[in-house]
């Protein structure tokens, strides 16, 4: 009845009002069609790639023809193309799904694979059911929210965060981090755990959770050092590394096999979680693990058991993307993306060196070149900068607390294989105009600053003469 929920709505509204007053209110927004994409996670631009789209359409057309003729290829011809029919344990399984898992496992050098509807469900399902009473989960303080949700549902006795900077390569150390952690480093925590009797003799399991590529900072974990630390402090082989490769699959390693494969750590990492919604350009997730672990997840992972399985269209999308990677067709796109990464960092670093915006706490980029397509531009005014860039035709997003720790707010630039050097120049020019506006406001009276800001905003910046453009 109208008005019956007013009391609850009033309470919820007050919570939202408080969040809005703190500048943290989230809203759903549509991306303008005329904006250059520097925001989405589709790093290889595969979702808009004509070859991938053509392969998927042909696969769907073939499936329709098979259904019409009643023939069998990989699965039941009576199965719906649009819907899966239920959970994997009931009516949602198929030979096609199982053959796809076999293909994925072989490509990534894993014993087995288990598909989930998303990487979020994969992380949550894995962490919620595997750690038992007495076990310990040690996790990067900047680990994804899905791991946190899985840990909350797990029966592990302890959950211990460690400092993110402790698993980064030396040239990305604390001096270049925006967030100074109060947590101990991974080595310190593992050293303390090794002194515990049950942990030291191998009776207690320790799960170490990290990401391959971090989507907010764009840094890459030093997985070799993580594996060495686990071997050193947990010699009883009761340390199990879990790597979330949602953002590194498709980007790192030969043909995009991921960071674990790039570093040849397949036998030292217990489980990997891959997401298909980023560089892979489709949707879904998978856990790479042992056959026994796969069977265990089928029996105990609630995010698999109690949800409708992926449809044929989703499975086919994943299949054609893997065919694209396996064939090597993605390699030129990865090489082009790598060129853009270095070019963007040079342009941003040159901009900061020229304008010195850090003097007014306006803007900062890391001195060390990024190894990933995610480049954070740290600023005390992320919303204002992102709005200015969007109005200039470049879609970037503000990233603020609680998504990132307070004091490390930034605008995140996500590069894609479909981007060009000219687009990067345009984005850098928009950022430069904004910095000039901010500098004018902080160094001159308000009225003069506003006039300068309007003049700068209206200026057309010629970027055609910029140097060091990559040959694309």
Please report, in tens digits, the pLDDT of each residue of the chain (472 residues total): 566 678 899 999 999 999 999 878 888 888 888 899 999 999 999 999 999 999 999 999 888 877 666 555 444 555 677 777 889 999 899 999 999 999 999 999 999 999 999 999 999 999 999 999 999 999 999 999 999 999 999 999 999 999 999 999 764 444 344 467 889 999 999 999 999 999 988 899 999 999 999 999 999 999 999 999 999 999 999 999 999 999 999 999 999 999 999 999 999 999 999 999 999 999 999 999 999 999 999 999 999 999 999 999 999 999 999 999 999 999 999 999 999 999 999 999 999 888 887 655 678 898 888 889 999 999 999 999 999 999 999 999 999 888 888 888 999 999 999 999 999 999 999 999 999 888 776 655 544 444 444 333 333 333 333 334 443 3
Give backbone dihedrals phi and psi of 22, rounded to 5 degrees, phi first.
-90, 5
Residue 21 lies in a domain: no
- In this structure, are 346 and 295 located in the same domain? no
Residue 318 lies in a domain: yes
- In this structure, are 255 and 107 located in the same domain? yes
What is the DSSP code string of 117-160?
Answer: S-HHHHHHHHHHHSS-TT-EEEEETT--HHHHHHHHHS--SEEE
Cβ neighbours for 270, distance < 8 A, ≥ 6 positions apart: 207, 240, 241, 242, 289, 293
Q: Where residue 225 sits, what CATH number does that domain have? A: 3.40.640.10
- In this structure, are 37 and 89 located in the same domain? no
Could you give the strand order of the β-sheet that contains 206-211, starting from the edge strand earlier in sequence?
Answer: 112-116, 285-289, 271-275, 239-244, 206-211, 136-140, 158-162
Residue 13 lies in a domain: no
Residue 17 lies in a domain: no
What is the domain extent for residue 381?
A: 30-44+331-458
How many other C-beta atoms lie within 10 A of the C-beta of residue 387?
A: 15
- In this structure, are 285 and 341 located in the same domain? no
Q: Rounded to two decimals, what is the model's pTM?
A: 0.88
- In this structure, are 435 and 403 located in the same domain? yes
321 with 46: CB under 8 angstroms? yes
Residue 19 lies in a domain: no
Query: 326, 355, 390: which is the final residue of a domain?
Result: 326
- In this structure, are 322 and 442 located in the same domain? no
The rounded distance, in Å, linking the Cα atoms of 131 and 206 is 8
Q: Where residue 372 sits, what CATH number does that domain have? A: 3.90.1150.10
- In this structure, are 217 and 248 located in the same domain? yes
The number of distinct structural domains making up the chain is 2
165 with 176: CB under 8 angstroms? no
130 with 304: CB under 8 angstroms? no
Residue 241 lies in a domain: yes
């Amino acid at each position: 009845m109208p008005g019956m929920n007013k009391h609850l709505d009033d309470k919820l509204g007050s919570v939202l009002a408080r969040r809005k007053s703190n500048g943290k209110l989230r809203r759903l927004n549509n991306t303008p069609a005329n904006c250059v994409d520097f925001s989405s996670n589709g790093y290889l631009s595969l979702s808009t790639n004509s070859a991938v789209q053509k392969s998927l359409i042909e696969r769907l057309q073939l499936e329709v023809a098979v259904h019409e003729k009643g023939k069998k290829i990989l699965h039941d011809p009576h199965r719906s193309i649009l819907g899966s029919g239920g959970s994997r344990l009931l009516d949602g399984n198929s030979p096609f799904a199982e053959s796809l898992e076999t293909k994925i496992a072989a490509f990534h050098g894993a014993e087995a694979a288990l598909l989930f509807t998303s990487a979020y469900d994969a992380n949550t399902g894995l962490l919620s059911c595997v750690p038992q009473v007495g076990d310990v989960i040690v996790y990067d303080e900047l680990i994804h929210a899905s791991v946190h949700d899985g840990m909350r549902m797990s029966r592990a006795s302890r959950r211990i965060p460690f400092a993110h900077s402790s698993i980064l390569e030396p040239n990305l150390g604390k001096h270049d981090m925006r967030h100074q952690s109060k947590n101990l480093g991974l080595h310190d925590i593992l050293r303390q755990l090794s002194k515990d009797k049950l942990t030291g003799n191998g009776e207690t399991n320790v799960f170490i959770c990290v990401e391959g590529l971090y989507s907010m900072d764009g840094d890459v974990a030093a997985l070799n050092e993580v594996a060495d630390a686990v071997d050193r402090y947990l010699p009883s082989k009761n340390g199990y590394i879990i790597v979330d490769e949602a953002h590194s699959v498709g980007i790192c390693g030969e043909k995009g096999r991921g960071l674990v494969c790039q570093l040849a750590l397949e036998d030292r990492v217990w489980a990997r979680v891959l997401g298909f919604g980023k560089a892979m350009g489709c949707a879904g997730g998978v856990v790479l693990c042992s056959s026994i672990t796969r069977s265990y997840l089928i029996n105990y992972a609630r995010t698999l058991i109690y949800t409708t399985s992926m449809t044929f269209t989703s499975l086919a999308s994943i299949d054609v993307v893997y065919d694209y990677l396996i064939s090597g067709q993605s390699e030129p796109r990865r090489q082009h993306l790598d060129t853009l990464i270095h070019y963007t960092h040079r342009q941003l670093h040159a901009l900061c060196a020229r304008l010195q915006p850090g003097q007014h706490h306006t803007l900062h980029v890391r001195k060390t070149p990024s190894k990933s397509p995610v480049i954070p531009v740290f600023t005390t005014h992320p919303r204002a900068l992102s709005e200015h860039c969007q109005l200039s035709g470049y879609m970037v997003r503000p990233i603020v607390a609680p998504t990132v720790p307070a004091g490390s707010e930034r605008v995140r630039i996500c590069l894609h294989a479909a981007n060009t050097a000219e687009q990067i120049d345009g984005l850098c020019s928009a950022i430069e105009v904004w910095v000039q506006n901010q500098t004018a406001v902080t160094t001159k009276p308000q009225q003069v600053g506003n006039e300068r800001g309007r003049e700068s905003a209206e200026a057309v910046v010629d970027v055609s003469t910029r140097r060091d453009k990559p040959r694309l």
